[in-house]
Amino acid sequence: MCLYCCYLCTSPDSLTQWRAEGRVAVWLHVPIAQSRFVAAAAAHGFTFHHARGDQSTLSLWLVEGESRLPLYATHQVGVAGDTAVREVLEETGVRSEFQSLLSVRQQHNHPGAFGMSDLYLICRMRPLSFHIEFCTQECLRCEWIDLEELARTGHTTPITSRVSRLLLHGLMHGFHHIDLGMEVLPAVYSGMFYQLYHRPLPMGDSTSPNV
């Protein structure tokens, strides 16, 4: 971090140019020894996002509306359940219904999560509508694709390939073989509830307290 870099990030000309280029946010990393530049950044709308060790990170949301930058935490968790329904609608325009949790990916030292652990949850959803009107700020492209084609293609990530095969197995043999079901249970805290995900117990399970 140098004086020139700070000037570049907080210059009105730079901010105008970045908005014209369609950029939605700016990250500014300030070493503790250069903390005097924080006031200049704040004058242009930057706010603290997080601080760790000898460096603070500021951010500025460049487009209209509320900032959608993720909050900082020790772990970052992807969407599931009702949140997945909302995210699918916001990003694709498709209404859907949560069916199950399929998999959980844990990645330590994730570069996109500021070196924190990232938990990425993949859900099985049932579409309630099929017309796509995707959010151009969230997606570059959005389309329906044949599941078998997705499972066969080599132009995708390992996790997409694996989950595609998992879904094909569910289609052929029944989703009860692959689903992690969700049940809402009462928490130990009065008036609160949580969502528990697990493979369903067999029908007539002898360990049930109601048997």
Confidence bin at 205 (pLDDT 50/70/90): low
Inside any domain, residue 89: yes
More confident residue, 144 or 75: 144
Q: Are residues 97 and 160 in the same domain?
A: yes
Lowest-confidence pick of 72-76, 116-120, 184-188:
72-76
Q: Are residues 92 and 139 in the same domain?
A: yes
Inside any domain, residue 170: yes
Q: How far apart are CA 60 and CA 58, in angstroms?
A: 7
Inside any domain, residue 185: no
Among 11, 27, 61, which residue terminates a domain?
61
Amino acid identity for residue 45 in this structure: G
Inside any domain, residue 162: yes
Q: 84: exposed, middle or buried (C-beta count within 10 Å: 0-12, 13-18, 19+)?
A: buried
Q: How far apart are CA 144 and CA 10, in angstroms?
A: 41
* Structural domains counted in the chain: 2
Q: Are residues 47 and 80 in the same domain?
A: no
Please give the backbone phi and psi of residue 210, each rounded to the nearest 5 degrees, phi first.
-90, -5
Q: Are residues 8 and 82 in the same domain?
A: no
Inside any domain, residue 48: yes
- Measured between alpha carbons, how far is residue 189 from residues 62, 80, 86, 196 in Å? 40, 22, 26, 15
We report the CATH number of the domain holding residue 123 as 3.90.79.10
Q: Are residues 20 and 113 in the same domain?
A: no
We report the CATH number of the domain holding residue 27 as 3.40.630.30
Q: How far apart are CA 114 and CA 23, in angstroms?
A: 20
For the segment 48-67, the average pLDDT, to the nearest whole number, is 92
Q: How far apart are CA 88 and CA 95, in angstroms?
A: 7
Q: Are residues 112 and 157 in the same domain?
A: yes
Inside any domain, residue 186: no
**Two tokens, residue 156:** 């995708």
Residue 169, domain extent: 75-177
Q: Are residues 79 and 49 in the same domain?
A: no
Q: Are residues 32 and 81 in the same domain?
A: no
Q: Are residues 114 and 172 in the same domain?
A: yes
pLDDT tens across 154-199, in order?
A: 888 898 999 999 999 999 999 989 999 888 889 898 898 888 888 8
**Two tokens, residue 143:** 């389309």
**pTM, full prediction:** 0.63
Q: Are residues 84 and 41 in the same domain?
A: no
Q: Are residues 57 and 82 in the same domain?
A: no
